[in-house]
Structure 1
Amino acid sequence: MVSSVVKGNDRFLGILERLTTKAIDDYYNPYRLFEWPDKLPDNMWWMSPELMTVHGTEASERLSQEQLYRLSRYESVNFYSLNVHGIRELLIEVTRRIHTKGFETPSEFFHHFIGEENEHMWFFAEFCLRYGEKIYRQPPAGALSVPHSKAESLLVFARILIFEELVDHFNSQMALDDRLHETIRAINRIHHQDESRHIAFGRELVELLFEDLQKSATQEELASISEYLRRYMRYSVETLFNPQVYRDAGIPDPLAVRAELLEAQSHLGFEQRIFRKTLKYLEKTGLVGEYQTVS
């Protein structure tokens, strides 16, 4: 529960007040904010090349500049599709908890969070449908559904935080990349602006939920949480390696290419670069750490 943790917690209450005020002051109408040209140029980057799944690999060297531009188009559409699916999930989970027992204190901020995320989902979907003519399907998560337990809310908000930090790693770089079309830079820039607040809130809430859980958690339960979050980070990164993207980009044998790229990027530290700040935070709080192995 949250209320028992934040009651009298002046730091958390102060952060909530500042973030809520900033959300009000920074409010914009996304339906009027963006300019949507009829078409984006084919012969330019749609995603910063350093963020693409082929970057630094032998596979990249086999592709022409034209093929790399085409691949960047579909990797871009896949990235925004993942945003659509991720936002839909987090909206469901946050809406389930707003104005419920234990979440009274952050519920006012939840209203701003829900409103902003709904608008983010709209403009990411708009981009995908206008310029990719599709929203890629959500990859199966398998056994990564959040288990029903006393750690359920902690895992839900930790997943939201991990998702937001992954997305913001891309947003913050593409917002400033003048090799990209202004429309692409704009949606990344405005999303980064909002996600900065959401990440600040998420880190505080996750830490409070974890502190509360630790009062009764066993070593085995802590180990399970740590392993789950590591697996979720790995899964989140692997969703960027979509074989349908490689197929749409005209690359032969897309499943083999995906396997090759996952192996290559594992050696190049792709996941560690994306989650450098996130992992540092999770280890500092103790959410991810060296716990006794669960038998």
Structure 2
Amino acid sequence: MPNATDSPRDSFAQRLLIGSVRRTYDPVVDIAWAEPLDPAKLFLPPRVISLYGTDLWEAMTPGQQRELSRQELANVLSVGIWFENLLNRLLLRELLRGDPTSATSHYTLTEMADECRHMMMFGKLIERVEARPYWPRPAARLAIGALPAVLRGPMVWVAALVGEEIFDALQRRMLDDPRLQPIVARAMRIHVTEEARHIGFARDALARRVPAMSAGERAYIRLCVAVAGPLFVSLITNRHMYVRAGLDGRRAHRAALRNPVARESRATGAAELVTFLGQHGLIGSAGRRRWRAVGLL
């Protein structure tokens, strides 16, 4: 009987399993949920807040800036919950076709368990910072529900990387900012540590599939990548978070999309992903134009 770690993919998954044993967190016990919030600190570092550096930001009082940081955090966490819910559904489908004795299947299950804890952590954090979650509109909810029918094969891993890498890079910029609420920094550190394994797993899966892709499959992935970048930006600049922060939602949304500081922040977050997709021929000229238009390049 073949060993479950005979293939290079399984050998890589086995290393990730060992890493998971050594560094996996339970947010229920690894975060001090009862710790009081610091009334002087923000919920996101200023440089990753979408209006930072704009005239709107400069006109806001410190209290208004703090409230906007709370709403932007709640929105980002809500997007994270939707995405990780979607990813787990895609991974469950992958398991139906996999060998249940393999290290790859075992790591897939481990990643799903991580994502379940992350969804709980994000939900608890939204509640702890005294915010409310954000929900997609009914049409968007239907579209999100239909995505598993569209995201198949290599697109599972492309979707995982678009949803995880940009967010992960932004979180890494948050961790050591002294202006950040300690409870937020702790949650982000847990997420970054575990997402590093998830990103490695997705990159490895996608890179192994690229050589066998047909021209049609590659063209389809490039089209999906072109759509995914603008969709990500639209979700993290949800105009309703500006309304909850007491601003004119449409005006603030326009300012956020044009804000050179925010665009630089998004481009920095997407840089490694763009390089990886480019190396494998999975982002075309149309994708680059669309990503540049929303500040991801």
TM range (shorter): 0.7 to 0.9
Match of 2:13 among 13, 16, 28: 16
CA contact (8 A) 2:126 2:133 kept: yes
Q: Are the structure 2 counterparts of residues 266 and 41 from structure 1 closer, same or farther at C-alpha, using a change threshold of 3 Å?
A: closer
Please give the root-mean-square deviation of Cα atoms over the aligned residues, in Å. Answer: 2.7
Match of 2:204 in 1: 204
Among candidates 228, 233, 239, match of residue 237 of structure 1:
233
Query: Given the alignment, which residue of 6, 27, 31 partners 1:30?
Result: 27
Q: Distance in 1 between matches of 2:37 and 2:170?
A: 20
The structural deviation recorded for 1:55 is 2.1
Q: Paired residue for 1:287, among 260, 282, 291?
A: 282
Q: Distance in 2 between matches of 1:248 and 1:280?
A: 36
Bigger helix share: 2
CA contact (8 A) 2:75 2:238 kept: yes
CA contact (8 A) 1:47 1:76 kept: yes
Aligned to 1:165: 165
Structure-2 residue corresponding to 1:277:
272
Give the distance between the partners of 1:92 and 1:284, measured in 2 at CA: 28
In structure 1, the residue matched to 2:92 is 95
Q: Distance in 1 between matches of 2:262 and 2:40?
A: 30
Structure 2 counterparts to residues 73-84 of structure 1, below 5 A: 73-84=70-81
In the alignment, structure 2 segments of 5+ residues that lack a partner are 287-297
Q: Which runs of 5+ in 1 are unaligned?
A: 1-5
Distance 1:83-1:222 versus aligned 2 partners, 3 A rule: same
| Identity in percent | 22
Superposition map of 1:85-234 within 5 A:
85-101=82-98, 106-138=104-136, 140=140, 146=147, 152-212=152-212, 214=213, 216-218=214-216, 221-234=217-230
> Aligned pair count?
279
Task: Provide the C-alpha distance between the structure 2 equivalents of 1:166 and 1:207, rounded to a whole number of angstroms.
Answer: 18
Deviation at 1:205, TM superposition (A): 0.6
Amino acid at match of 2:46: P
Q: Given residue 239 of structure 1, which amino acid in structure 2 is its aligned partner?
A: L
Letter in 1 for 2:58: E
Q: Kindly tell me: are residues 204 and 27 of structure 1, through their superposed partners in 2, closer, same or farther at Cα, counting changes over 3 Å?
A: same
Structure 2 Cα separation of the partners of residues 7 and 21 of structure 1: 13
Q: Deviations over 1:107-155 (max 9, x none)?
A: 1111110111100110110111232342111362787854857x72211
CA-to-aligned-CA distance 1:228-279 (integer Å, 9 cap, x gap) = 112202211221112111111111x212221232133499444322201110
Please state if 1:70 is matched with 2:77: no
Determine helix, strand or coil for the equivalent of 2:173.
helix
Q: Is the 8 A contact 1:74 1:132 kept in 2?
A: no
Mapped to 2, the partners of 1:21 and 1:15 lie a distance apart of 10
**Is this contact kept in 2: 1:141–1:235, CA < 8 A?**
no
8 A Cα contact 1:242 1:258, kept in partner: yes
Post-superposition shift, 1:38? 6.3
